[in-house]
Every structure is written in C-alpha cells, then in structure tokens.
C-alpha cells in the first residue's frame, strides 16, 4: 500500500506535490518551469534550450565550477530537459542532502548568473546537439513528424535551428529568464524519504518570495501539409506516421494508451510481429503515445532499406487501420503483465516518481498514486478499449519520410 500523496500551493502559484516512500534512503525532485520552446520568439528557435544550458553556468554565490562541485559533493545525479511546455531540472541524492540540493536549484531558477563570457561556449554545446540530430536520421524524422502533426508552436524542436542559434545574444537569454522563469505555473515534484512539513517549510523559505509574472497567450497556427519528404542520401529510409490521440488528462487516455500498447509493446506486439518478424521488412518499428496538455498524438516509426520502404509503409499503415477493428483479450493480458512490472520498478525509483508527480500535477491538477494507476490498469477491458477505438479509429494521418525517394501515401494527404 503506497503512502498518500501530499501537496501544497504557495501564494505565488508554485505547486509542491510530494510522495513519501519510507522504504527508500534517497529523495528525488523534479522542477518544471513554464519555459518550454513554445515560448521561443519566432526568429529565436532554440532560445529555451540555450537558456537552460546557460542557467547551469553558475547561480547564487557559486560560479560555474563551484555549482558543479557542490552538486557532486552532495552526490546529486541531475538531469535537464526542454519540452514544448516546460524546462525541467531534476536531481536525486541521499535523503539527508535533499534540503541542500533544493537550495542550489533555487539559486539556479531564481538567480542564475547567465555569464556573458560563456555564451559562445554555450552556443557550441547547442550546435553539437543540433548536429547530433542531423547525424541521426531516426531522430530527425520524428522531430519533423511532431512539427507537422501539432499546430505551431507545439511541434517545435527544443534543439532550435542553426541560423537562430547563431543570432541569440545574452540579452535574449536574460529576457527569456525574466519572462518565463516564474513561480506561477511552476511545479516541483518530490519523492522518497522526507518529512513533509519540513519539506513544505523548506520550499516556502526558498521560493515563497519569488514574484509571479504575467503570462502571454500562445498563438497557434495549423501545420502546412500532412506529408513531407526529407531528401537524405542513404540506403535506408526512415518512415514516420502520426495520428491524433486524446491527451493524458482525458478520461479515455488509458484506453488509447492500452490500444497502442497492443500495437507496439514488446516483441509480441502487432507491429513487431507483422512488420519485422513475419515479413522481415525493417530493422526497427514502434509506436508511442505522446501528450501535450490539450492534445495528443500517436507517433509511429519504421526504419528499413530503401527498396522495401514502400511495402513497409503500406504494411505499417494496414496495421494501424486494423487496430480500429479492436484488440483481443490475450493481447490485453500480456500488456497488463508488462505494465504491472513497470509500476513495481517505478515504485523503487524516487527519480521516476518525482517526475511522474510533477507530470500528473501539470496534466491533471493532482497526482495519482501507483495503487490508483494499478486499479485503472486493472479496470481496462477489451470492451472498453474497443469501444474507444470504434469511436476514435486511427486516421487522418501525418507522414514524414526521409531517404532518397518519396513514397506513395494515401489519397487525400498532401
């Protein structure tokens, strides 16, 4: 039986959501600040990622080197990321070091140095990340697929674009912090061994006087087309297919997620069995659910040889369309067994739980315990999933291919 999840919202809007796990000796935290790449000005694509990189180069009374040394001395394993909606900073350490680690990250969020003399070093890091995408065709095709599937700016890549990265200056970075690094809309998830009242007091001391800011509305623009081919000189062809899905906050999300789990979850899934194992068409094939706050998508990928690319696309698309006919009980039972194993492992990871708590709060306005998630999974039936699929069958696909030649996509897609 998991312990209850506790929460507290500061007057400035910062939300603390925490799950004590007495069996652990560690504690982990995840900060989500509303500074994702949807907030990048149109001509400064990559500003959020560049700002994240620069925020790590000293904060409070620590220069760049001391910032890293102090985290290392506390044994903090950290991670940073930029998504459409958020910039995320997370860390995990032994429980007794949690307050000190939170204090360092409070400086990072509220008092980053953003040193002008390190902008060019930060720019080189961003260039390296961008070139890594260019050198990885799988990632490149899926980035472009998200851009084509979601309305602008929700499909933007966090890596940015070469021309924009070349022009970003320190004033742009500092302006981004002033506009987007604020407590209203920010979330901190904490999981592991801690005493909640002390944690709440600590968060209040570190962030209670952080002043909220006005938030500018996001203007959306529909994607230009539903099929894009990227010319790439290779003997391989990368195929991306996307279609709309309900978001995580929708009551039907787990039904959609269960259907995709049958489609692509392990070596017994439909895509793996039909496209790779039986026909030998590709070396990789999978599909995943992706969610924004108000919309979602299912993103499918297949990597194959150029001479078998058209057949791979056709067979993959046929499996997506066949999903509308429903799933079978034995498929659902295999999926449930895999998920139960994953839930058990998540309970043993304070980092995984802190991330899940922050994510849940953003999407749902509350956090689910693992017991609740387990009950929701148990409640899934073939009848409920098939009813969802009958109402929302895969369709209206977006396609992106990468290789030497374009492929034929269904009539009506342009």
Tracing tokens 């400064």 back to the chain, one arrives at 44
Instruction: Check pLDDT > 90 for residue 49.
Output: yes
CATH code of 6-207, in short, is: 3.30.830.10
Model confidence at 346, pLDDT cuts 50, 70, 90, reads low
The pLDDT score that the predictor gives to residue 226 is: 84
Crossing angle of helices 382-391 and 253-263, rounded to 10°: 100
- Decide if 129 contacts 49 (C-beta within 8 A): yes
Instruction: Check pLDDT > 60 for residue 362.
Output: yes
Closest CA to 168 of 119, 217, 204: 119
User: Higher model confidence: residue 333 or residue 85?
Assistant: 85
- Decide if 6 contacts 332 (C-beta within 8 A): no
- Residue 398 CA to residue 242 CA, distance in Å, equals 5
Pick the CATH number of 227-403 from 3.40.50.150, 3.30.460.10, 3.30.830.10, 3.40.630.10: 3.30.830.10
Instruction: Check pLDDT > 60 for residue 414.
Output: no
* Integer-rounded Cα radius of gyration of the chain: 22
The pLDDT score that the predictor gives to residue 305 is: 95
Percent of residues, the chain, with pLDDT higher than 70: 97
10 Å CB burial of residue 283 (0-12, 13-18, 19+) is: exposed
Instruction: Check pLDDT > 80 for residue 293.
Output: yes
Model confidence at 374, pLDDT cuts 50, 70, 90, reads confident
The pLDDT score that the predictor gives to residue 192 is: 96
- pLDDT tens-digit map of 236-284: 999 999 999 999 999 999 999 999 999 997 788 999 999 998 899 999 9
Q: In what order do the strands lie in the sheet with 26-33?
A: 6-9, 15-20, 187-192, 26-33, 87-94, 77-82
DSSP state string for 294-357: S-EEEEEEEEEEGGGHHHHHHHHHHHHHHGGG---HHHHHHHHHHHHHHHHHHHT-HHHHHHHH
Sign of the alpha-carbon dihedral angle for 121, 122, 127, 129: positive
The full set of domain ranges for the chain reads 6-207, 227-403
Residues facing 82 on adjacent strands: 87
- pLDDT tens-digit map of 168-226: 999 999 999 999 999 999 999 999 999 999 999 999 999 999 999 988 889 999 887 78
Question: Which residues have CB under 8 Å from 241's CB, separation 6+?
Answer: 145, 299, 300, 301, 313, 316, 317, 320, 397, 398, 399
- pLDDT tens-digit map of 88-102: 999 999 999 999 999
The pLDDT score that the predictor gives to residue 225 is: 76
The pLDDT score that the predictor gives to residue 411 is: 62
- pLDDT tens-digit map of 122-170: 999 999 999 998 889 999 999 999 999 999 999 999 999 999 999 999 9
How large is the average pLDDT for residues 394-403?
96
Which stretch of DSSP H or E encloses residue 384?
helix 382-391
The pLDDT score that the predictor gives to residue 31 is: 98
Write the CA distances from 269 to 220, 246, 272, 277, integer angstroms: 36, 22, 5, 10
The pLDDT score that the predictor gives to residue 113 is: 98
Closest CA to 233 of 402, 400, 399: 402
Q: Are 6-207 and 227-403 the same fold in CATH? A: yes
User: Chain-wide mean pLDDT for the chain?
Assistant: 94
How large is the average pLDDT for residues 66-86?
97
């Amino acid at each position: 039986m998991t312990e209850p999840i506790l929460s507290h919202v500061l007057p400035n809007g910062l939300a603390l959501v925490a799950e004590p796990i007495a069996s652990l000796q560690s504690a982990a935290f995840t900060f989500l600040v509303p500074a994702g790449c949807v907030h990048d000005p149109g001509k400064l694509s990559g500003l959020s990622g560049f700002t994240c990189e620069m925020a790590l180069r000293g904060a409070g009374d620590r220069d760049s080197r001391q910032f890293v040394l102090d985290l290392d001395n506390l044994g903090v394993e950290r991670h940073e990321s930029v998504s459409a909606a958020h910039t995320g900073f997370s860390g995990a350490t032994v429980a007794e070091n949690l307050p000190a680690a939170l204090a360092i990250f409070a400086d990072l969020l509220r008092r980053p140095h953003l040193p002008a003399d390190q902008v060019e070093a930060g720019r080189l890091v961003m260039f390296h990340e961008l070139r890594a995408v260019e050198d990885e065709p799988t990632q490149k095709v899926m980035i472009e697929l998200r851009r084509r599937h979601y309305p602008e700016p929700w499909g933007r890549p966090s890596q940015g674009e070469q021309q924009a990265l070349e022009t970003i200056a320190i004033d742009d970075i500092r302006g981004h912090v002033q506009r987007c690094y604020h407590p209203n809309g920010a979330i901190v998830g904490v999981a592991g061994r801690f005493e909640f009242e002390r944690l709440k007091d600590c968060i209040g001391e570190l962030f209670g006087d952080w002043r909220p800011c006005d938030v500018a509305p996001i203007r959306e623009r529909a994607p230009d087309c539903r099929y894009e081919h990227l010319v790439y000189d290779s003997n391989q062809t990368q195929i991306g297919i996307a279609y709309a899905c309900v978001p995580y906050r929708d009551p039907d999300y787990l039904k959609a997620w269960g259907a995709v789990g049958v489609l692509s979850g392990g070596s017994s899934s439909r895509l793996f069995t039909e496209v790779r194992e039986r026909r030998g068409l590709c070396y990789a094939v999978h599909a995943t659910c992706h969610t924004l706050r108000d919309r979602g998508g299912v993103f499918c990928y297949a990597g194959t040889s150029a001479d078998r690319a058209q057949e791979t696309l056709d067979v993959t698309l046929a499996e997506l369309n066949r999903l509308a006919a429903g799933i079978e009980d034995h498929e659902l039972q295999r999926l449930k067994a895999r998920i139960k194993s994953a839930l058990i492992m998540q309970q043993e990871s304070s980092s995984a739980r802190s991330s899940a708590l922050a994510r849940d709060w953003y999407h749902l306005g509350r956090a689910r315990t693992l017991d609740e998630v387990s009950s929701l999974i148990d409640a899934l039936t073939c009848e409920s999933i098939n009813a969802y699929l009958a109402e929302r069958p895969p369709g209206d696909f977006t396609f992106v291919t990468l290789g030497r030649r374009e492929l034929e996509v269904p009539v009506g897609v342009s």
